[in-house]
Amino acid sequence: MLNESEKYKIAAASSADAINFEFSLGAYIRKVCGLWRGNKALMASCGALNPEDASIAIIHALWARLQQQTMS
C-alpha cells in the first residue's frame, strides 16, 4: 500500500501535520476499508461516528506506529 518514501513522509510529519494526509490517504482508507459503505465495526473501533473521523484516527494510528518504528 505505502512505499518507503510515503512512509518516511508520514513518519517525518509532526502529529499536528499528520492531518495533511487526510485528503489523499484518508480517501483511500475510506474507500478500501468500506467506511463509505458503513463499516460500523471499524468506525466503532476507531471511536468515530463518521467515515472521515475514522480515517483520521487510522492515519494518526499509522503515524504513531511509524514513529515507534523510527525510534527503535
| Confidence (pLDDT) at 1 | 76
Q: Which amino acid is at 10?
A: I
| Confidence (pLDDT) at 19 | 84
Low-confidence stretches of the chain (pLDDT beneath 50)? none
Locate 27 and state its grid cell. 480517501
Rounded to two decimals, the pTM is 0.88
| Confidence (pLDDT) at 72 | 66
What is the Cα–Cα distance from 22 to 56, expressed in whole angstroms?
6
Distances (CA, A) of 41 to 5, 25, 34, 47: 31, 20, 10, 10
